[in-house]
Amino acid sequence: MRMCDAHCHFFSSRFLELLTVGVAGFPDTNRAAAVSHRLGWQDPGSAAELADRWVTELDRHSVARAAIIASIPGDEDSVATAVRRHASRFVGFFMFNPAAGDVAGRLSRALGEHGLRGICLFPAMHGYRLDDERVKDVFTAAADHGAVVFVHCGVLTVGVRKKLGLSSPFDLRFGDPLALAAVAVRFPAVPVIVPHFGAGMLREALMAVEQCATMHLDTSSSNAWMKYYPGLTLEQVFRQALDIAGPERILFGTDSSFFPRGWQQAIHAAQDAALHAIGAAEEHRQKIFGGNFDRLFPV
Ligand SMILES: [Zn+2]
């Protein structure tokens, strides 16, 4: 079965440098290597080297294509380098903060010159409402450039920040799928992706999906948010998502990020098992594991 992963993080050297700006204890030279060492990760090296490592990893697991996310504002160049190098394998996403100003100019560079295709919003991290005017500007730019808008709703924890002891004063109230839907319905040409089935806001995410035809759910990560719903299983999550979103609006993802861990095979195995357990049709599984991704991101 053709597999495309809609949610991987491209943890480049530049990402590690930007993440630790102002953090004491790391040298100014070879900073990314020092941060990697502290984390027990493989040094990412150059963006080109990391891109090649990713392709080898995708090949090893028979993953045809992957969305790779520049996971801090300012790291668009790294993902753009990877996408240029392996255009048939990668779709470039990037974390974007609309509250930082010049929304149109910055998005024009990222989506135009850099050829990236997914704008990733983390409202709980950057502190703005999803029905804010600046978010409408993001959707306008996405419509102009044929991009998708990815919005992290619900609970937000960033593993690497925790490991490095960085403070993460996120305001989870901003990650509201219903506020997102209120904007998204006005931009019927812009596909929207809500990762991790809404990351704890499953009910609201499903309401948003039902209201708004452009809204997609990604299945990525261990979905540890299920702990907020006593007794909920991944099988039930998939069944409900299939009932309400339908097989066209569910995108398989893993949330893979660093090496040497690499691509998270176990996440795929768990999701595949859940879909088999509920008797999902092969045609539906094909859409979830690859077809929908190819439809949203034609090569
Ligand atoms: Zn992620």
**CA distance linking residue 77 with residue 176, whole number of Å:** 30
pLDDT confidence of 246, banded at 50, 70, 90?
very high
Cα 5 to ligand 1 centre (Å): 12
Neighbours of ion ligand 1 (CB under 5 A): 255
Longest dimension (CA), the chain: 54
pTM (2 d.p.): 0.97
Cα 9 to ligand 1 centre (Å): 6
Cα 212 to ligand 1 centre (Å): 23
**CA distance linking residue 292 with residue 180, whole number of Å:** 21
Cα 85 to ligand 1 centre (Å): 23
pLDDT value of residue 123 = 98
Cα 255 to ligand 1 centre (Å): 5
Quote the Cα angle for 72-76-77, to 5°: 130
* pLDDT 10s digits, 136-160: 999 999 999 999 999 999 999 999 9
**CA distance linking residue 267 with residue 257, whole number of Å:** 13
pLDDT at 28 over 90: no
Cα 117 to ligand 1 centre (Å): 16
Cα 8 to ligand 1 centre (Å): 7
pLDDT at 254 over 90: yes
pLDDT at 260 over 90: yes
Residues 177, 153 contacting (CB under 8 angstroms): yes
Length of the chain: 299
